[in-house]
């Protein structure tokens, strides 16, 4: 079913091409809507105190070894990932830029207004909800087809080259990244593992639901 999905669905509000400087309103709306949900989910994972996302673990691990801030490392990693797009024939778009802006804003808002759970069960529940929320937002903004963020673009490009299910490709990326980050000294929690193993199926489920509802 949704775990075997291998391509991003096209719906009525999908942009015809990622590099579209004058997208229709519906494409732009769902792009922003999806990124807002995505960023809120990332914030929920941080607030849960159950462990950060794999890419944040990687940034933390590298920063400990290079004595640079996590923010600086996150930016450098994003640029490196964008260069990996070239052999995968991936093209940036408006979504590539808005990805960084909207997600970072939503993370700050979430951290400011959502309280941290005071017991482990609540933290675990919030972490699970965070992964599902990120997956939902990721699926929506990817279907808008206005350019993926660095990580999602890498996932889509690798899927096209390998023809493997999206869930499997994303899980492979997240597990690889968190393994490197942990080896370099990054902190791994239960939430990190939930994200690493759960984000692929969560995005695949979102893509399946969006494709089913809007087609």
User: 148-170, pLDDT tens digit by residue?
Assistant: 888 888 988 999 899 998 888 98
150 CA to centre of own chain = 9
* pTM passes above 0.75: yes
Phi, psi (rounded to 5 degrees) for 89: 60, 35
Residue of 44, 31, 192, 51 whose CA lies nearest to 109: 44
pLDDT over threshold 90, residue 136: yes
> What pLDDT sits at residue 100?
78
pLDDT over threshold 90, residue 205: yes
- As a whole number, mean pLDDT of residues 98-126 equals 89
Domain limits of the chain? 23-214
Phi, psi (rounded to 5 degrees) for 10: -110, 125
**Residue 54 to residues 72, 141, 178, 207, 215: CA-CA distances in angstroms?**
16, 20, 4, 22, 33
When pLDDT is cut at 50, 70 and 90, the band that residue 137 belongs to is very high
Asked if 10 contacts 145 with a C-beta cutoff of 8 angstroms, the reply is: yes
pLDDT over threshold 90, residue 110: no
């Amino acid at each position: 079913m949704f775990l075997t999905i291998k391509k991003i669905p096209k719906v009525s509000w999908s942009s015809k091409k990622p590099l579209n400087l004058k997208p229709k309103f519906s494409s732009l709306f769902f792009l922003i809507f999806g990124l807002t949900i995505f960023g809120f989910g990332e914030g929920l994972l941080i607030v849960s105190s159950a462990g950060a996302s794999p890419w944040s673990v990687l940034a933390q691990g590298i920063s400990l070894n290079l004595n640079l801030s996590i923010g600086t490392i996150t930016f450098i990693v994003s640029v490196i990932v964008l260069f990996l797009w070239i052999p995968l024939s991936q093209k940036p778009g408006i979504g590539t830029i808005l990805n960084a802006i909207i997600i970072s804003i939503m993370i700050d808002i979430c951290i400011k207004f959502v309280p941290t759970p005071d017991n482990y069960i609540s933290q675990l529940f919030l972490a699970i909800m965070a992964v599902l929320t990120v997956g939902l937002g990721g699926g929506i903004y990817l279907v808008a087809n206005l350019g993926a963020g660095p990580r999602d673009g890498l996932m889509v490009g690798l899927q096209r080259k390998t023809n493997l299910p999206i869930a499997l490709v994303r899980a492979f990326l997240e597990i690889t990244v968190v393994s490197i980050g942990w080896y370099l000294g990054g902190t791994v929690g239960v939430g990190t593992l939930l994200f690493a193993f759960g984000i692929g199926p969560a995005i695949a489920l979102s893509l399946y639901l969006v494709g089913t509802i809007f087609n």
